[in-house]
């Protein structure tokens, strides 16, 4: 059983919530991902990931104030939970261990490399 289950897009979403801190809501998360990663994000995929992350206990959300610009609907803001922080730290540690285990020669093209 996996200690923490976190897909690549979920990781990106969580890191973006961390970057935005108190300003992490759907539209701002989408824009931040698209700008930082030059990657298109569908609203549906983002909302699904946010819901999944909340269900896992990695994020929690709360409603902000209702605004006229949103026809009276409040924004839903997201924050990383303590469990979410541990999940991100686990993923980071795992990636660092894997990167550290790759022999330098494996990432440096040389005369013995062959094309497959």
Q: Decide if 113 is inside a domain.
A: no
Instruction: State how many domains the chain has.
Output: 1
pLDDT in tens, 4-57: 889 999 999 999 999 999 999 999 999 999 999 999 999 999 999 999 999 999
Residue 1 lies in a domain: no
CATH code for the domain in which residue 83 is found: 1.10.10.10
**pLDDT mean over 54-63:** 96
Which residues form the domain of 30? 8-103
The answer to whether residue 109 sits within a structural domain is no
What global pTM score does this model have?
A: 0.84
| CA 57 to chain CA centroid, nearest Å | 14
Closest CA to 84 of 100, 101, 61: 61
């Amino acid at each position: 059983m996996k200690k923490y289950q976190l897909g690549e897009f979920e990781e990106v979403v969580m890191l973006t919530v961390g970057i935005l801190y108190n300003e992490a809501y759907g539209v701002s998360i989408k824009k931040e991902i698209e700008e930082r990663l030059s990657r298109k994000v569908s609203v549906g995929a983002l909302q699904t990931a946010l819901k999944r992350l909340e269900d896992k206990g990695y994020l929690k959300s709360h409603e902000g104030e209702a605004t006229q610009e949103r026809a009276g609907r409040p924004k839903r803001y997201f924050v990383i939970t303590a469990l979410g922080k541990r999940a991100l730290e686990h993923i980071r540690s795992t990636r660092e261990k894997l990167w550290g285990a790759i022999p330098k020669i494996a990432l440096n093209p040389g005369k013995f490399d062959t094309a497959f």
